[in-house]
Amino acid sequence: MNAPEARADKGAGVTDDAEDPDDLDVEEALALVNDPSGRGPGDPARARAGAPRRGDGPRPAADGRSPATRPSRHDDRHDDRHALSWPAARAVAERAARRGTGSPAAPRAPVPVPLDAALGLTLAAPLTALTDLPSFDTSAMDGWAVSGPGPWAVREEGVLAGHAEHPPLTDGEAVRIATGARVPPDTTAVLRSEHGHTDDNGRLHAAPPRPAAPPRPPGASRAGTGSTVAHGQDIRPRGQECRSGEQLLSAGTLVTPAVLGLAAAAGYDTLSTLPRPRVEVLVLGDELLTGGLPHDGLIRDALGPMLPPWLRALGAEVTAVRRVRDDAQTLYKAITRSGADVVLTTGGTAAGPVDHVHPTLRRIGAELLVDGVEVRPGHPMLLARTKENQYLVGLPGNPLAAVSGLLTLAEPLLRTLAGRPAPEPYTMPLRNAVQGHPHDTRLVPVVLRGDVALPLHYNGPAMLRGIAAADALAVVPPGGTRPGQETELLDLPWASGGIGVCFT
């Protein structure tokens, strides 16, 4: 980012130039500058002395997808030997959640939940109408229920919603009726109050007292006026919307406010839903502060506040957020004592002196399902099965790398455990070219403006400034994208669903 005018959109800075090295994290920018082949020398800070150069192995497929089982070409870092392509890693996370039940539709046992607690859950069974809707013939308007052609003699006592059935009308009779009231038997139509008036003798006529519209050509008539009213007009017949027993929604539907309304209307007090997967968050790092300003090498914990609401938006129930010291035994205890469906750790995924996640998983005898992903940021992310029906997602400590891990591994895992349908993949053209990583997928924060996506600066692994202003993450394939190139986008929950629906 060089030009101040390029800083726009909520202060996050839209990228204007694909060649701007600020659009890359520092290590990637160095890779591009230093390697005339364009393949990049790898991460200088990460490559071990004497290790083979990155890119020496087989090239990726043109679309960047490689089979889950294929070992990564990144053989210069011990933790990347088994790295999976970004799509393969997501597929593994989704498949892992299905294991155990063998049922793709209902991975976990359903539970009945009162309507007021069901928002955001997934229907475990189809929603079948428990009644006809409407359950009786209903007036759609305030006015008169009439029988036969007018004028009509008006009964004294009117009909209100919520009252028992009125005696049948006889031909030539009318009765005052309110919207939602059940129409008396033998009603032929409802005359809206604005379409009728009573004469001095108290007889009802189907015409407004004063002309309410511009003069009409001779002979033209207006629906609902005149001496007759069309048969069935403004009556909602019983069963118009559905019959009892009819399927209204399929299993797997997300319970939205509208679903709650429909379920109530259709007679439900409780819904059969899939329980939210329970997630325990373990925030690792002795350097983290929970308040105040950074000082003496200590920094604020950005993930403790960020992850719980985001996890809820992904369908999880967060049972606890624990801060865990950089101590192997403490981490071992925290993981082995957890009864959550998913343990989510932050930090400690790399190979530093206090990066205890890998050694602890080895000690537990956990099965590593994903051990590194060919994605920037976030490549050291991992997914393991710690015991029957318990998974551990290891997010890297760098905050945007943690977001990348959240959307790459936690999202498909939790979505599948929660029984939610996969979002439809979609693409939009990126306004600017985006520099690709030589081998890996990049996830780049973008804002959506009209029918284009604008890549944002401040997308380095340790930065949240870009993502905090973003509407989506662009999935930039290895090699990058040209200006205007259609690019897959991952929705961010606040952009697609709104705070109220998604974060409760």
Ligand X SMILES: Nc1nc2c(c(=O)[nH]1)N[C@H]1C(S)=C(S)[C@@H](COP(=O)(O)OP(=O)(O)OC[C@H]3O[C@@H](n4cnc5c(N)ncnc54)[C@H](O)[C@@H]3O)O[C@H]1N2
Q: Which residues bind ligand X (CB under 6 A)?
A: 46, 77, 79, 283, 285, 287-288, 299, 301-303, 346-352, 355, 377, 379-380, 396-399, 401, 461
Helix ranges (DSSP H) in 324-463 = 328-336, 357-364, 399-405, 411-417
Considering the complex, what minimum distance in angstroms separates the CB of residue 46 from ligand X? 4
How far apart (Å, rounded) are the C-alpha atoms in residues 33 and 433? 17
Considering the complex, what minimum distance in angstroms separates the CB of residue 34 from ligand X? 18
List, in sequence order, every residue forming a beta bridge with 367; answer none if it has no partner.
Answer: 385
List, in sequence order, every residue forming a beta bridge with 282; answer none if it has no partner.
Answer: 322, 345
Output helix, strand, coil percentages for the chain, rounded to the nearest 5: 20, 25, 55
Nearer to ligand X, 41 or 396 (CB): 396
Nearer to ligand MOO, 398 or 487 (CB): 398
Pick from 117, 99, 116: nearest CA to 108: 99
Structure tokens at 396: 């890297």
Q: Which residues contact 221 (CB under 8 A, 6 or more apart)?
A: none
Q: Which partner, ligand MOO, ligand X, none, binds residue 440 by CB below 5 to 8 Å per kind?
A: none
Nearer to ligand MOO, 376 or 457 (CB): 376
Considering the rule CB under 6 A, would residue 396 count as an interface residue with ligand MOO? yes
Considering the complex, what minimum distance in angstroms separates the CB of residue 378 from ligand MOO? 4
Considering the complex, what minimum distance in angstroms separates the CB of residue 397 from ligand MOO? 9
Nearer to ligand X, 287 or 327 (CB): 287
Q: Which partner, ligand X, ligand MOO, none, binds residue 150 by CB below 5 to 8 Å per kind?
A: none
How far apart (Å, rounded) are the C-alpha atoms in residues 310 and 503? 7
Binding mask 374-393 for ligand MOO (x = CB under 6 A): --xxxx--------------
Considering the rule CB under 6 A, would residue 478 count as an interface residue with ligand MOO? no
Q: For 391, list phi and psi in degrees, rounded to 5.
A: -120, 155
Nearer to ligand MOO, 93 or 206 (CB): 93
Nearer to ligand X, 48 or 243 (CB): 48
How far apart (Å, rounded) are the C-alpha atoms in residues 298 and 109? 44
Nearer to ligand X, 170 or 329 (CB): 329
Q: Which partner, ligand MOO, ligand X, none, binds residue 419 by CB below 5 to 8 Å per kind?
A: none
How far apart (Å, rounded) are the C-alpha atoms in residues 68 and 369? 10
How far apart (Å, rounded) are the C-alpha atoms in residues 157 and 164? 13
Strands (E), 137-188: 138-139, 143-146, 152-154, 173-177
List, in sequence order, every residue forming a beta bridge with 321; answer none if it has no partner.
Answer: 281
Q: Using the rule CB under 6 A, which residue among 315, 461, 466, 478 binds ligand MOO?
A: 461
Query: Footprint of ligand MOO on this chain (CB under 6 A)?
Result: 376-379, 396, 398, 401, 461
